[in-house]
A and B are shown apart, each in its own frame.
Chain A
Amino acid sequence: MEERRPLLELTGATVRFGADTAIDAVDFRLFPGEVHSLMGENGAGKSTLIKAITGALPLDEGALTLDGEHVHFSSPQDAQRAGISTVYQEIDLLPNVSVAENIALGREPRRLGVIDWRTMRSEARAVLADLGLDIDPASLLGTHSLAVQQLVAIARAISTDVKVLVLDEPTSSLDVDEVAELFRVVRDLTRRGVAVLFVSHFIDQVYELCDRVTVLRDGRLVGEYLTNELLRIELVQAMLGRTAASLDAKTRAEVDPTMPREPYLSARGVTVGNGIRDADVDMIEGEVLGVAGLLGSGRTELARAITGADRVSAGIIRIAGREQHGMHPQRAINLGVVYSSENRRTEGIIADLSVLDNITLALQAEEGVFRRIRPDRRRELAMSWVEALDIRPPDLDRPAGTLSGGNQQKLLLARLLALSPRVLVLDEPTRGIDVGAKVEVQNLVGELADNGLSVMFISAELEEVLRVGNRVTILRDGRIVDTLPSSMLTVDSLLALVARPEEIDG
């Protein structure tokens, strides 16, 4: 295997942004027919490396060879023409045109200069069938779920003569079955000699799918390993550069069950359309309530319902002992109930505003226009949160959009915590952030609960829910299946509950 010539080889790659060096003399190779994972913490230079390969960023130093020939890409289209296709985490497709067009546009079949719709649709149907997708190619993309849109993006990438397929976090919006489907497709492609660069934060998935791993840290190459010769602990160590022992999240202390406490927020029979039906939730101070469930099980709907983000069609929500009618986010905030959306980028941080503004935004809104927080007080406040949550880099004037995912999440937490909330509802706070930052966020949640906050922690990762939550609420198909103390659950039993509870007695 080592003797083969790499399909794509990057040597001594260096990319600088002004004075910052994003990647420094990194070597990277990709063999035909292999799945290669690029691992590293946020800010390690993964995305910069990907962009250098796909032509989105120019190399300041170093050389790229494809099939033994030196190449230079000045745009993503250049790279595409050379056979390097990319599927990004954020879906880059057009919701307002048909699925077929999303696959074919830019190289659509034409007859006499006119678009040949019939051929376009049948070609699209064939590519989709290759992926095991049976959807109407003439339907508008926007009418499909995010997962299907993701697969359409992959269909687009493989519908050309693809040599190298770059998948940047392709699984973050897919559920278990869809991930399996995607892996089947990827393996199929590798059999045809396609080299796949697979970037994912899910270490399990990396081990399941990848032949080889390249690890980056702080813009430098740590090493290239064969997956089956590398222990997980070694991989994590390589990524973090510290011993894995310090990584272990603290296990949360059991809340004393003999001391029943009045819930600060309690919901009874909460229903929002078909998203969540007849849900009972108690949020107790000093406790983390984990929420587990598959995508579409009503996790987000539950969170949005109890925080007033969505109108409740039935049910009662009591906060601080009083029944609340006509809840809306502002009222919820006044009552100390704050919500952090799973869509960090679109419903969370404001990318163009500075770290300072992002932190103090909600607080100023709460205070009102006429009671301006003094600028020095504002900076002091923001700085204290930046330090408390260890937001890096600790630069208040940096646009929030330039921070890594993990730090953006912490920034969002800082904004909410500045409101001194009683109930904190976190919807997938660790999605799309790396292992190190994940553990930091988990520990932070634990500390907050220890300080008397009531936290709802929603995550797709069952292990995480179990580790962070004192109790775990299990959702399936829009209903709460059960709420159990996490000490009574294991990952396997939780998985069984999340998947098919009829066969198991809770």
Chain B
Amino acid sequence: MTAIDTRPKPAETFASRYSTFLRRRASLMPTLSAVVILIALLIGARVRFANFLSPGNLSALLLDNAYLIVLAVGLTLVIITGGIDLSVGSVMAFTGILCASLLAQGLPAFLVVPIMLVGGALIGLLIGVLVQYFNVQPFIASLAGLFLARGLAFVVSLSSIRVEDPAILWLQRTRWSVGGWYITPTGIIALLVVAIAFFVMHWTRFGRTVYAIGGSEQSARLMGLDVARTKVLVYVISGVCGGLAGLLLTAYSGAGYPRNGIGTELDAIAAVVIGGTLLTGGTGYVLGSLIGVLVYGTIKKLISFMGAEQSWMQIIIGALLLVFIVVQRLIVARSQRRGR
């Protein structure tokens, strides 16, 4: 076994740099392949449709998927701990309809928005406590959260409620543009969420604890990390992201609707997995999830450009997921072999 002995001092050849990269960032490979797929998709779309890569079209990609980005970010944290949160779509619907209803009753937006976030956080807290202190499987606990949030949404209203509040609509209607490119406040919020999550995951003890739990919960505990608090907190964060996504979606559609986001949790999971996060936990990146959502959004847009049935969307996403899960398995199997 050559384990202890000194590796030769790496001369800065390409090969040695590549192997150092692999040893440090092997888990980045799935995310990089998502980037490659995104680029390939965009090039392919450009070849087929000359106007696909127009600034307006690309800007709309961010705008249309802002809520999904926020959901995917929260979910990424949960999945890295080795858990899952199925409630995000329903939480988004619940907070969205709650927002529309409260605004319709005359509450000011500066009160409504915190209420939405707290509402999401409470559902997340419930799931987190179930998972951590009652040892409920995350799948089951968040399924309970899913039904609870969906039920609450119907309690608030059975039908769609229009939103007239200027502050909420401002989030969507304001467009700051440079050239043909534009960005809305909703887009900025989504990107801000990604940036904050990136910072938290890589530069704080909380973030590293999230990774540690995904690696081995037992070891993380022995290292003196606060496993219980962290695990509850990731579900709370996911809930808050659900609430924020509710705000973005309400602004986007100009209304609250209790049937919003049915199945969106699965879209979000798909985006996270395509972005290179392992469902078994331990590896993944929020930036990857951003890429995953963009891949998802691009495929969706491409299909509407082609005028094809949206059912193709599901098939393509399904196929892509399959490819990614197989790629991930291969990478995991390889790193395990090396570890032996």
Give chain A's interface residues, CB within 8 Å of chain B. 76-77, 80, 92-98, 101, 105-108, 110, 113-115, 132-136, 138-140, 142-149, 151, 175, 177-178, 181, 294-296
Contact = CB atoms under 8 A, between A and B. Distances in A.
Most chain B C-beta atoms within 10 Å of own C-beta, residue among A145, A146, A178: A145
B223 A105 contact: yes
Contacts of A136: 20, 23-24
A142 B339 contact: yes
Contacts of A95: 215-216, 282, 335, 339
A101 B205 CA distance: 11
Nearest to A91: B219
Contacts of A135: 7
Interface stretch (B95-103, B206-214, B240-248): B206-214
6 contacts: A93-B216, A97-B211, A108-B205, A114-B203, A140-B24, A145-B340
Contact of B20 (A76, A139, A147): A139
A317 B112 CA distance: 73
A143 B23 CA distance: 6
Interface in B177-217: 202-205, 208-209, 211-212, 214-216
Given A94-B212, A94-B219, A143-B26, A110 B1 contact: no
A135 B7 CA distance: 7
Interface in B4-23: 4, 6-7, 20, 22-23
A97 B224 contact: no
Given A94-B212, A108-B205, A178 B4 contact: yes
Interface of B: 1, 3-4, 6-7, 20, 22-27, 202-205, 208-209, 211-212, 214-216, 218-220, 222-225, 282-283, 335-336, 338-340
Contact of A147 (B1, B203, B205, B222): B1
A140 B23 contact: yes
A232 B268 CA distance: 64
Contacts of B203: 114-115
Contacts of B339: 95, 142-146, 149
Contacts of A144: 3, 339
Nearest to A86: B222
Contacts of A146: 339-340
B217 to A, nearest CB: 10
A407 B6 CA distance: 40
A505 to B, nearest CB: 26
A65 B52 CA distance: 74
Contacts of A114: 203-204
Given A96-B215, A136-B24, 9 more contacts: A76-B224, A93-B216, A94-B220, A98-B24, A139-B20, A140-B23, A148-B3, A178-B1, A178-B3
B23 to A, nearest CB: 4
A92 B1 contact: no
B7 to A, nearest CB: 7
A105 to B, nearest CB: 5
A113 B220 CA distance: 20
A108 B215 CA distance: 18
A115 B4 contact: no
A76 to B, nearest CB: 6
B204 A115 contact: yes
B205 A139 contact: no
B3 A96 contact: no
A106 B230 CA distance: 13
A145 B23 CA distance: 12
Given A95-B339, A178-B4, A296-B1, A139 B215 contact: no
Contacts of B283: 96
Contact of B225 (A96, A105, A181): A105
A313 B137 CA distance: 41
- 4 shortest interchain CB distances as A-B pairs: A94-B215, A96-B282, A139-B23, A106-B224
Contacts of A115: 202-205, 208
Contacts of A143: 22-23, 26, 335, 338-339
Nearest to A105: B223
A181 B4 contact: yes
Contacts of A296: 1
B235 to A, nearest CB: 21
A224 B115 CA distance: 67
A80 B205 contact: no
